[in-house]
Chains A and B, each alone.
Chain A
Amino acid sequence: MSIEIEGVGKKFGSFVALDNINLSIPTGQLTALLGPSGGGKSTLLRIIAGLETADEGRVVIEGVDATKLPPQRRNVGFVFQHYAAFKHMTVAKNVAFGLEIRKRPKEEIRERVAELLALVHLTQFADRLPSQLSGGQRQRMALARALAVEPTVLLLDEPFGALDAQVRKELRQWLRRLHDEVHVTTVFVTHDQEEALEVADDVVVISNGVVEQVGTPEEVYDRPANPFVMKFLGPTTSFNGDIVRPHDIDVYGLAVAGGIRATVTGLQRVGNEVRLTASANEGEETTVQLIRSHIDQIGASVGDEVWLRLAPGAPRIEPSKAG
């Protein structure tokens, strides 16, 4: 295990940011810390980096107790949401910074910087200042700078949070490919469940200072541990008293075994997608998401009777289940 977090707690005044966190982050994996803003995930990342100190507990990085080590002795690479580019240095100088601090030979630094700039596709921008780069380019520079010192772990704090949607998508796929090439243990913080599910090998869901669930993207999505995780990872609806996903409900025009009879109360089309709302027993409103051709097949419209059934194997959770 690359990073071991044992009983870590942190308070800011009376606000509990982290409460007794225990977590193992495996070597060579890309792990996402996923959760809502203010849930403690960034604080945990900063504690791993040594930019914040834990009130209690231990942080062990590759077998070394790092709890008391200052950030510069932890050998971690850190990438900030707002890039933290050294504004007075060129792109090449930014990337070279860690190596110059380590007093590596000039020739070696030059080669390594060239190599890294090629890796992040910034070779032709080597002599520019950060202010002359776009947001996405600045973040790639920051990534190259963090990788330059060959860190044991690479930590990214909402790395794509300040970028617009298109660049965000490109860059996260690029991060995945980069990780497949470089294989450095990587932990990134995000509040975007799509980003976490798409990019990460493992997802750690954190909320209100506690770990809600740890697992692969499939595990947390298909077998959410509690209502919070279920709701956080995507839209949910109420069906037969349980929390389920709107696209996991099948709709039938005729009675089916195990189906629940309901009346269609609304149909809303968004592109090729249709959102059907139906009320079943005891006035429960259920939202179903299905594709247009399917609804055409059934031929249902508002006021019609339909039968709803949860798809086999689909996750469902009782709302009362402790979260």
Chain B
Amino acid sequence: MGNSRASKHILRWIAIVYVAFLVAWPVGLVFWNTFGDGLEPVIETFTDPLVIKSLRLTAVATFWSVLLNTLFGVTMSILLVRYRFPGKKLLNALVDLPLSVSPIVVGLSIVLVYSTTGGVFGVPLSQAGIQVLFSTPAIVLATTFVALPLIIREVVPVLHEVGTEQEQAARSLGANSWQTFWRITIPSIKWGLTYGIVLCLARSIGEFGAVKVVSGNLIGQTQTATLMVEQLYFDFDQEKAFAIASLLALISIITIIVVGLLRSRAEVKDPK
């Protein structure tokens, strides 16, 4: 079967070259440019109070997005897998919406709901003195919205696969639903959940379009790290732009490596 072996080689090289050109090389260039002029500009960037502020805002938005999406995602996954109810198919489709809709549209839809001039929620909230748009709540909302399906899409297949027998066994052994959830359900979905959380984390850190629309992009106030990168880039402050971009890329790479390591360790422990 020399022929199929040759074609396997060719396919492998096409894949490698494709990914290298499209992903590895450009991302690598970002790092290259960052450290092209030594460490000094990098240090300068990360001591800039405006940069620190934007990173902090990204951290806050990411924290809430991961927290809300984890709580909501696990509940929703259980609902979708374990229960039957009318409208389930519609709900299932709605959950995928944030993946297929452009983040710009997400941003605009949030503006429509929370606008202080005519938004259904925006008007009463502003009368109560709560500002949503152009401040942190809107950024959190937009980030949470775009990352919503990621955990659910990782957890649902795992829940399907583990089935309900372990949970039923736990119930028959005296565990109530809460104990069953913590001792049986969560441990059996933990890898799917971890992976979902990492994807959610990476997506939340990188969110740009929706946040740009709802935040107002006010420098030093509602500017997240990704928005800051754009601003610096257009202001010809490329060194700083590349430095922040490198940091964002680095966080994503580290999280993926960490999950990879955890996963392979878990597989060694439990070959199934």
Contact = CB atoms under 8 A, between A and B. Distances in A.
Interface of A: 49-51, 70-72, 74-78, 80, 82, 84-88, 97-98, 101-102, 129, 131-132, 142, 145-146, 148-149
B174 interface: yes
A293 to B, nearest CB: 50
Contact of B171 (A51, A75, A82): A51
B168 A131 contact: no
A71 B177 CA distance: 11
B166 A87 contact: yes
* Highest count of chain B CB atoms <10 Å: which of A85, A88, A142: A88
Q: Which 7 A-B pairs have the closest CB atoms?
A: A98-B173, A84-B165, A78-B172, A84-B169, A131-B272, A71-B171, A88-B187
Contacts of A84: 165-166, 168-169
* Highest count of chain A CB atoms <10 Å: which of B170, B171, B173, B272: B173
Contact of B174 (A86, A88, A101, A131): A101
Nearest to B165: A84
Contacts of B172: 49-51, 71-72, 74, 76-78, 146
Contact of B173 (A70, A82, A132, A145): A145
Interface string B169-194: 11111111001000110011010000
A146 B173 contact: yes
Contacts of B165: 80, 82, 84
Given A84-B166, A87-B166, A101-B179, A70 B171 contact: yes
7 contacts: A50-B171, A71-B172, A78-B169, A78-B172, A97-B170, A131-B270, A149-B173
B interface: dominant SS: helix
Contacts of B162: 87
A127 B8 CA distance: 43
A101 B270 contact: no
Contact of A72 (B175, B271, B272): B175
B168 A51 contact: yes
Contacts of A132: 271
Contacts of B173: 72, 77, 97-98, 101, 145-146, 148-149
Contacts of B269: 129
Contacts of A82: 165
Nearest to B175: A101
A234 B270 CA distance: 44
A86 B184 contact: yes
A131 B271 CA distance: 7
A77 to B, nearest CB: 7
A95 to B, nearest CB: 10
Contacts of B170: 86, 97
Contacts of B171: 50-51, 70-72
Interface in B37-89: none
Interface string B149-170: 0000000000000100110111
A85 B272 CA distance: 13
A145 B170 CA distance: 10
B270 A72 contact: no
A102 B188 CA distance: 22
Nearest to B266: A88
Contacts of B168: 51, 71, 78, 80, 84
B179 A87 contact: no
B170 to A, nearest CB: 7
Contacts of A146: 172-173
